[in-house]
Structure 1
């Protein structure tokens, strides 16, 4: 089954949102395992259905590194305090990395329309990323801003904008057709 059918795209988005809900609800209650289990199930399902499995796996690896840098950096700086901070308080918690893993399943499918629109991808990440943190903070007590508030939100917006634009660039390059050799008159290809 092709993951890019209308039903596949809806499942791609709804599954991602289900992982987010499991992650922030679990973290708000002090546990990381709901996020990890939900992300494992969701990513396995998406990869099984995907026609772009190799690219999705590459995006997964890039997203996990970005999660370690962005969320790990903000935790280490003391600007974000994560509920359920396992494995360490100055590193990106497992439930946050589960969210990054789930997010990596979107660029080749539901958000494919942003692959070759770097400015729109940056804006999408710069707005959507902080809104997800705001929802996690206010609705679930899963994260708290403990650094300078305005600066923390600005850094989150810039970091998420850059991270999402990078993910879209990786997706765009990986999915671009290979260049075909140009035949010259009298020269076989």
Structure 2
């Protein structure tokens, strides 16, 4: 069993590897993404809470990206919603409970600023690696992402830190 500190480091590394596998290799990296998520759940000291406290944020994130894809903001190869992006959402939201949990304790404005900057930069970086095409151009997409991520990151923190009614304390 990993210590809390070591698990947070492992969670951070796992997400970085998921990002690389998903964004750089896309569909070819899907199995690596799935394996990395399995490793997270295998070593997590809070498997049940990881699922019960994250699924709503994951679904919101996937819905956001699917909506943006349908609106032409994102264009993915094959014109379908990529499974590697689902893995990326799962991995990201898990960081909010572990390696990025520190941000939940910061003032709301920090969550808004870091969400607006970090979320936007992640997608713009992904476009540079060819994972997504920005159908409305870089500036319109950046404005949409700044607003979406600035609003959603604080909501995600509220969701992942709220106990689920069926969750039993260990």
TM-score (norm 1): 0.76
1:75: how far off? 0.6
For structure 2, the residue ranges without an aligned partner over 5 or more in a row are: 165-170
Cα distance 1:80–1:97, how it changes in 2: closer, same or farther (>3 A)?
same
Contact 2:53/2:162, CA 8 A, preserved across alignment: no
In the TM superposition, 1:115-126 aligns within 5 A as 115-117=104-106, 118-126=108-116
Distance 1:104 1:159 in 2: 15
Does residue 130 (structure 1) correspond to residue 120 (structure 2)? The answer is yes
Contact 1:59/1:104, CA 8 A, preserved across alignment: no
Cα distance 1:166–1:39, how it changes in 2: closer, same or farther (>3 A)?
farther
Cα distance 1:161–1:58, how it changes in 2: closer, same or farther (>3 A)?
farther
Q: 1 or 2, which has the higher helix percentage?
A: 2
Contact 1:67/1:96, CA 8 A, preserved across alignment: no
TM-score (norm 2): 0.84
1:100: how far off? 0.2
For structure 1, the residue ranges without an aligned partner over 5 or more in a row are: 176-189
The equivalent of 2:133 in structure 1 is: 144
Distance 1:3 1:103 in 2: 21
Question: Whose RCO is larger (CA < 8 A, sep 6+)?
Answer: 2
Question: Looking at CA atoms only, which structure, 1 or 2, has the larger radius of gyration?
Answer: 1
Q: Number of aligned pairs?
A: 163
Contact 1:3/1:46, CA 8 A, preserved across alignment: no
Contact 1:106/1:112, CA 8 A, preserved across alignment: yes
Deviations 1:41-100 (A, max 9, x none): 222222222232222113441233123221111110011112354xx2xxx321111100
In the TM superposition, 1:23-172 aligns within 5 A as 23-27=22-26, 32-34=27-29, 36-83=30-77, 85=79, 88=80, 92-117=81-106, 118-138=108-128, 140-172=129-161
Distance 1:18 1:58 in 2: 24
Structure 1 residue matching 2:75: 3-state secondary structure: strand
The equivalent of 1:187 in structure 2 is: none
